[in-house]
Amino acid sequence: MLTIWQQPFALAWEALQAKSFPVGAVLLNPAGNIALTGRNRSKEPAAPASQLANTALAHAEVNVLAQLPPGSHSDWTMLTSLQPCLLCLSALRLAQVGNVTYAGADPLWDGCAQVPSLLPDLLSSKWPVSTGPADGMDGVWGILLPAIWYVAYKPAVVAAPSDLLPWATVELARECVTAGILDSPSGAAAYDLASALLHHRS
């Protein structure tokens, strides 16, 4: 797993191990270097300075942006392991970050693409440009991590098909949990295990 997603996925795995919702994000400066990092900490009692924990607002993207000084960052790019929700897209707009690229598609938030058309030009003209999902296993892993979280920690929520997650992803997540993915020594090892299980199914 030597891709641009290595750090966001490592952060998402840390969140999963802490039983927080597994999303990780990094902010790239115009040179393409990682300037700031963050992850979801919604189920944890504490967070590093300037970041949120133990609240539903402690999203990965928000924890990255909370560290960013005010100013225009139109040529900066956020990489996030999962398609941003409306909260995080709005936070990106307020922080004046111009671009966001995500690995896993989140069907719950596809409708956010329509938000700029509902806003005045003052806001919509600087709405972050979204790109994603990632190709191949990177795109699968981005949405599989949340599915694993639900299967492991909120199984009743994914007991039957719903709009929350694609059912095939939930079924793969169940296989991953049964195979002991939560005991993997690292996020990279978990990624490899999930990739092998997916390959075996195809």
Q: Per-residue confidence at 80, pLDDT binned at 50, 70, 90? A: very high
Q: Which residue has the higher pLDDT, 11 or 201?
A: 11
Strand 73-82 and strand 24-28: pairing?
antiparallel
Q: Per-residue confidence at 201, pLDDT binned at 50, 70, 90? A: confident
Is residue 118 pLDDT above 80, yes or no? yes
- Round to whole Å and give the CA distance between 130 and 89: 9
The pLDDT value given to residue 200? 87
The pLDDT value given to residue 29? 98
Is residue 35 pLDDT above 60, yes or no? yes
The model's pLDDT over 140-169, given as tens digits with 9 standing for 90+, comes to 999 999 999 999 999 999 999 999 999 999
The pLDDT value given to residue 3? 82
pTM exceeds cut of 0.85: yes
Q: 161 Cβ partners below 8 Å, 6+ apart?
A: 167, 170
The pLDDT value given to residue 1? 52
Mean pLDDT of 67-83: 97
